[in-house]
Structure 1
Amino acid sequence: MTESMLWPLAPTTVPVSGRPEAFPVRRVYCVGRNYLDHIREMREGDERDDPFFFQKPADAVVPDGASVPYPPQTGDLQFEGELVVAIGTAGSWISVEEASAHVFGFAAGIDLTRRDRQRDCRDLAQPWEAGKSFDHSAPCGTILPVEEAGSTLSGELRLSVNGRQRQHTSLKLMIWDVPEVISHLSRSYRLMPGDLIYTGTPAGVAPVVPGDRIHVEITGLPALTVTISEGETHASQRTA
């Protein structure tokens, strides 16, 4: 048996409300353009025929209370407040009717985006990876198990920066609701316990800078707060 040349890596985990065990993250999937008002503010038309997805590294997940360094290679870091779905049961080609049975719980999340890099990728017809899949780009709050989530899916999402509300929506305004998102995604990937699905953001996205405090509240779920800190590259750019 060949031994690995690398040291064992600790899994990325997210706390679970009321439980000593944490949720180990396997993959992070994100839904693009799932609120009509956000599609319009990004000047990308008025509708989508089918949902599409991109991924972030599992170790891009950071917990509530984290300090997030301003990333390199951008001058336009933006927030996107989102509902996060934690998968607890494996499945592929999951029907809409069966999708809810695969959910372990829900959390508040933020899809941090290097918007200038995303636009460059879009203009060059390249994947969004440079704009979306970077270190610390997927803050995720404490997961509330589905049996305790109550009316979350018919509730509201609010995001504020330094106490000023910037995003507010009803989760019922998602173009594709949670069961539909799970069903569509499971046609391309076998979903497994440990997967997180970020379900898209409403209008109101905007840039943040070091020192900004981002706070997300979703009906019935633990809140999520992160602070943007100075990154090495950003600091050198400011003093150059």
Structure 2
Amino acid sequence: MHTVRLFGTSRTYAVGKIVCLARNYSEHIRELGNEVPDSAVLFIKPSSSIIGDGEQVVIPPYSHDCHHEVELALLIGKYGKNIRQDEAMSHVAGYGVAIDMTLRDVQNALKQKGLPWDIAKGFDTACPLSDFVPASQIADPHALRITLAVDGRMRQDSSTALMMRRIPTIIHEVSSVFTLEEGDIILTGTPAGVGPVTSGARLYAEIEGVGHLEVSVQ
């Protein structure tokens, strides 16, 4: 069982499901040649995909094109189903930094066949994740610089202000499909600049006011 903690407190949360939102930054949609979705595009990573700061991403042997995607992570603090947008923020216990590691070659091949692409997103070590800061410490989660560097070179440099769906909308849409429980995590999508990583690479992700996360690739 994987747990995460809130900085500055003794509180820990057992992680349940990790619900991820795809296609939430328009520039990222364009760089991959995807269509802008009419509704939320959701997928799930298992909690077994989590690794922490300082650990290693292991690229499975069935892929030769693994990409990084930095994301703002939401830690859900209480149960909710069909959560109203005006109540959604009360369900957020904290904010963290996540990297959605994606096997792009595997994902593209499965998409072309109309098949699910879980194995491209949910493999072991596919979800590097920081600890969380209490939600009360972040005045506006929609105005944070979000960056990721590979071997010291900036790849992703954007702002959460560019999210197409804001957090109350995300929580509302997710909870209309999946009941949210304490310890669940939502990844809110990645900005433009995603790209490949190879063995030996070091990834450094940071979100203003939230924290940072550094992992290497085996």
- Measured against the shorter chain, the TM-score band is over 0.9
Say which of 78, 81, 88 aligns to 1:92: 81
**Is the Cα contact below 8 Å between 1:87 and 1:105 reproduced in 2?**
yes
Q: Which residue does 1:39 correspond to in 2?
A: 29
The answer for the alignment partner of 2:3 in structure 1 is 13
Question: 1:185 is matched by which residue type in structure 2?
Answer: V
What is the CA deviation profile of residues 124-165 of structure 1, one whole-angstrom value per residue up to 9, with x for unaligned ones?
A: 111121211111101111100101123333111011001100
Quote how far apart the aligned CAs of 1:15 are.
Answer: 3.1
SS of 2:196's equivalent? Answer: coil
Any stretches of 5+ residues in structure 1 without a counterpart? Answer: 1-10, 230-240
Q: Tell me the secondary structure at the aligned position of residue 86 of structure 2.
A: coil
User: Equivalent residue for 1:170?
Assistant: 159
Answer whether contact 1:17 1:145 (CA < 8 A) is retained.
Answer: yes
Residues 1:187 and 2:176 aligned together: yes
In 2: Cα distance, 1:64 partner to 1:14 partner: 12
What percentage of residue pairs aligned between the two structures are identical?
36
Unaligned runs of 5+ in 2: none
Segments of 4+ in structure 1 off by > 6 A? none
Cα distance, 1:25 vs structure 2 = 0.4
Please name the residue that 2:14 is paired with: 24
Count of matched residue positions in the alignment of Structure 1 and Structure 2:
218
Q: Which has the larger radius of gyration?
A: 1
Cα deviation code 1:10-57 (max 9, x no counterpart) = x10123211234321011110011110011010113x22111100011
Q: Which amino acid aligns with 2:165?
A: W
User: Which residue of the other structure, out of 50, 55, 64, is the alignment partner of 2:44?
Assistant: 55
| Distance in 2 separating the partners of 1:211 and 1:70 | 11
- TM-score, normalised relative to structure 1: 0.88
Q: Is the CA contact (8 Å cut-off) linking 1:96 and 1:179 kept in structure 2?
A: yes
User: Residue 80 of structure 1 aligns with which residue?
Assistant: 69
Q: Which residue of 1 aligns with 2:132?
A: 143
Query: Any conservation in 2 of the 1:152–1:220 contact (CA below 8 Å)?
Result: no
TM-score by length of 2: 0.97
Secondary structure at the counterpart of residue 116 of structure 1: helix
